[in-house]
């Protein structure tokens, strides 16, 4: 059984999106409680560092970050986008939360490549997979997985990284960032039609993008097809954009996965990592908005990650 390192930080809990916002601090509190209750696994918790701007700049230009952080309010909340997407919100704690969420991925990469552990989970918010090179949206500001992929390539000279995204929404940001980059595979399965509206099968990048848009009546077995092309890519490290909003209880989507499906899905990814990636996986929390589902799914996700 593999040890797991979990990176998180209280600053990520402090991020406030206002009343009745689905991306709320209780999500992360429930997740950390769930992880701490798993007695069978050897899990070490570590504080996420603040991300170094120079590393974030591997994906997002400093001008974008300066503009974004200049909008962080001293008090109250600021919505970044116009209706109907005015729900990507900055609060006084946003700078620290955003940089800790990204720093979790960067420090995970350092720990992974030091050989200390092969399985890491970034229990962070805000999430990242909707964040494009110069556009925050969908509750996301910095693309945590994308920065980690670029960092793994630049610092450790890795050639091929795969990002597998099973959040129920398409990771438009991750796709945009790597659309013309054949060194990064991006595979996403997501409900369609649904926010953000991208992710059609015809969007294939330079042969490195694999999209599986599915309707709300898609069966659980169908959901696994996201994985069929990853083997061919033979990635050196696998990153997971782990959203748990395809669960049947989730309020933002209508796919009917059960909690145990996230164990199976993760287990299948672990098998691919063992075949091609020396077992190396970093998983990032993305969406998932029902607290009970999150608690159950995270337990299965980590148990499978440790296998």
Angle at 75 between CA 73 and CA 81, to 5 degrees: 45
String of b and e for 244-281 (b: at least 16 CB within 10 Å)? bbbbebbebbebbbbbebbbbbbebbbebbeebbebbb
Least gap, CB of 286 to Zn ion (angstroms): 6
Q: Environment class of residue 302 by beta-carbon count within 10 Å: exposed (0-12), middle (13-18) or buried (19+)?
A: buried
Least gap, CB of 22 to Zn ion (angstroms): 10
Q: Of residues 130, 169, 170, 276, which has the active-site annotation? A: 130
CA–CA distance from 10 to each of 125, 169, 276 (Å)? Answer: 10, 26, 35
Least gap, CB of 248 to Zn ion (angstroms): 15
Q: Which is nearer to Zn ion, 21 or 274 (CB)?
A: 21
3-state secondary structure 96-125: HHHHHHHHHHHHHHHHHHHCCCCEEEECCC
Other residues' Cβ atoms within 10 Å of the Cβ of residue 116: 12
String of b and e for 62-90 (b: at least 16 CB within 10 Å)? eebbeebeeeeeeeeeeebeeeeeebbbb
Tokens encoding 52:
């170094």
Distance CA 139, CA 144 (A): 13
Q: Which is nearer to Zn ion, 125 or 169 (CB)?
A: 169
Least gap, CB of 130 to Zn ion (angstroms): 8
- Has 190 been annotated as catalytic? no
Q: Which is nearer to Zn ion, 5 or 88 (CB)?
A: 88
Q: Which residue is nearest to Zn ion (CB)?
A: 287
Least gap, CB of 168 to Zn ion (angstroms): 5
Q: Which is nearer to Zn ion, 22 or 92 (CB)?
A: 22
Q: Which is nearer to Zn ion, 28 or 65 (CB)?
A: 28
Secondary structure (3-state) at 50: coil
Binding site residues, Zn ion, CB under 5 A:
167, 169, 243, 245, 287
Least gap, CB of 48 to Zn ion (angstroms): 21
Q: Using an 8 Å Cβ cutoff, are 2 and 306 in contact? A: yes
Q: Which is nearer to Zn ion, 12 or 158 (CB)?
A: 12
Beta bridge partners of 69: none
Catalytic residues: 130
């Amino acid at each position: 059984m593999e040890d797991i390192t979990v990176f998180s930080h209280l600053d990520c809990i402090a991020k406030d999106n206002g009343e009745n916002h689905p991306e709320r601090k209780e999500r992360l509190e429930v997740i950390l409680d769930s992880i701490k209750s798993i007695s069978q696994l050897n899990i070490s918790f570590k504080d996420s560092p603040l991300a170094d701007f120079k590393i974030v700049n591997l994906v997002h230009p400093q001008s974008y970050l300066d503009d974004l952080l200049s909008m962080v309010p001293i008090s109250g909340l600021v919505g970044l986008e116009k209706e109907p997407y005015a729900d990507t919100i900055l609060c006084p704690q946003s700078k620290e939360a955003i940089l800790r969420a990204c720093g979790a991925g960067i420090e995970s990469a350092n720990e992974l490549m030091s050989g200390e552990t092969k399985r890491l989970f970034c229990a962070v918010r805000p999430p990242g997979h909707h964040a494009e090179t110069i556009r925050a949206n969908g509750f996301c500001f910095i693309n945590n997985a994308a920065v980690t992929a670029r960092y793994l390539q630049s610092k450790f000279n890795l050639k091929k990284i795969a990002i597998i995204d099973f959040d129920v929404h398409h990771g438009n940001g991750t796709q945009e960032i790597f659309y013309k980059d054949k060194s990064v595979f991006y595979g996403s399965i997501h409900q369609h039609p649904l926010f953000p509206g991208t992710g059609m099968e015809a969007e294939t990048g330079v042969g490195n993008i694999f999209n599986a848009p599915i309707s709300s009546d898609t069966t659980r077995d169908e959901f696994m097809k996201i994985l069929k092309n990853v083997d061919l890519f033979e990635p050196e490290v696998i990153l997971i954009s782990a959203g748990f909003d395809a669960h049947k209880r989730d309020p933002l989507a209508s796919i009917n996965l059960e909690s145990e499906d996230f164990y199976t899905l993760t287990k299948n990814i672990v098998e691919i990592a063992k075949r091609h990636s020396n077992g190396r996986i970093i998983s990032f929390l993305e969406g998932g908005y029902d607290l009970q589902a999150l608690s159950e799914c995270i337990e299965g996700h980590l148990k499978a990650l440790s296998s």
